[in-house]
Chain A
Amino acid sequence: MKELLAVSLLLWCGLSLAAPRVPKAVPNKATVQSVKTPPNHKGRTGGPEHQAEAKEVAQEGEARGLQPQTEHMVETPGGYKSKRFVDVVGTDKKTEEVKEMHQVGLQTKKGQAVARERQALDDIQKAEGKRPEFHPYNK
């Protein structure tokens, strides 16, 4: 009887050690993040609301005699990103000199540009020595 008990105990120990451990079902963080909508999913030029505001800003510049240029590229070495696109700049029609810079984006409830836009403004200011004027489209 003692032998039988010992054999059973050995068998039970062996089986429990050999059995694969089933991992606890935890959500895969990467998978969860990848299905979430990214904060700027509409990309560089934004959605139609962003475009409408940018167009309005461009037309105001044009009325003042400037040449509007949308998505004006600026290299921003040492910034959060290596290059940025200013939503609208107003240039001199005959010399292409940039006279004004405008950035369109979301603002917080307190009326401040959202973090993503503040980083863009910081990068552009650092590179160009001038901070673009911010135009919220969720006023």
Chain B
Amino acid sequence: MGHQVNFFLMPEDTRILEKRLREECPVVFLDGESRDSAPVQLPDLEVAEFGKTRLRVILVQPEDLKSVILRYIPQQGHWSVDSDRSPVIELDRCYYDGEILRRGRLYYQRQFAEHGAWVEKPAAFQAWAKRVFSVTRKTIQKLPDRPYYVGPHALAEQRQGHVKLMASTNKPLLP
């Protein structure tokens, strides 16, 4: 079963979250894709250019780096982190184009299926993942009666009518 936090974060909010995560949990950021079989580390969670930068980042504990599994995608000619089987958390950063802010999320699975049976991921990974989720939830606030969290900058921008928060549909989340 997967665990997830869905959120709306402006780039400033993502910076705040990154700072809090670095303070509270040992974490390494990886690109979701790689040209070869070794994962590529990212210096931070900054999106270089919206619309051109891939938004998925993989969060991993430093001690779990060696356990990260990459899978070759022959049709695309690149390697991809197998987050299903690896002790990692997926972070999909929010897309922002100056008008709309698309939702992002943190997601991990505590187990995966292999040969028709469940394989539980290590307890140390699960404890770390819970900590990452806890820090995230405490850093941003939950929208009342909605299953989404929102960063302070995103909320302020939305309230001023500068940005529309978009879930998966093309309808804005809040009026």
Task: Report which A residues bind B (CB closer than 8 A).
Answer: 43-45, 47-49, 51-52, 55, 62-65, 67, 69-75, 83, 89, 91, 93-98, 127-129
Contacts and interface: CB of A to CB of B under 8 A. Distances in A.
23 contacts: A45-B1, A48-B114, A49-B116, A51-B112, A52-B113, A62-B76, A69-B105, A69-B107, A70-B109, A73-B6, A75-B167, A93-B55, A94-B50, A94-B51, A94-B53, A95-B50, A95-B51, A95-B95, A96-B94, A96-B104, A97-B102, A98-B168, A129-B169
Interface in B73-93: 73-76, 80, 84, 92
Nearest to B84: A55
Nearest 9 CB-CB pairings of A with B: A48-B113, A51-B113, A63-B75, A96-B102, A96-B95, A71-B2, A98-B168, A93-B54, A95-B95
Interface in B108-125: 109, 112-114, 116-118
B164 interface: no
A83 B107 CA distance: 17
Given A70-B2, A73-B6, A75-B167, A63 B73 contact: yes
B144 interface: no
Interface residues of B, number: 38
B92 A127 contact: no
A74 B2 CA distance: 15
Given A45-B1, A96-B102, A65 B94 contact: no
Contact of B168 (A47, A48, A63, A72): A72
A51 B80 CA distance: 19
Given A45-B2, A83-B147, A98-B168, 15 more contacts: A44-B1, A44-B2, A45-B109, A47-B113, A52-B116, A67-B56, A69-B105, A70-B84, A73-B4, A73-B6, A93-B56, A94-B55, A127-B169, A128-B168, A128-B169
Interface centre among B51, B80, B113, B167 (most CB of A within 10 A): B113
B52 interface: yes
Contacts of A97: 95, 102
Contacts, number: 87
A52 B94 CA distance: 28
Contact of B118 (A48, A71, A91): A48
Contacts of A48: 113-114, 116-118
Contacts of A63: 73-76
A63 to B, nearest CB: 4
Nearest to A98: B168
B73 A62 contact: yes
Among B1, B50, B52, B94, chain A packs the most CB atoms within 10 A around the CB of B1
Nearest to A63: B75
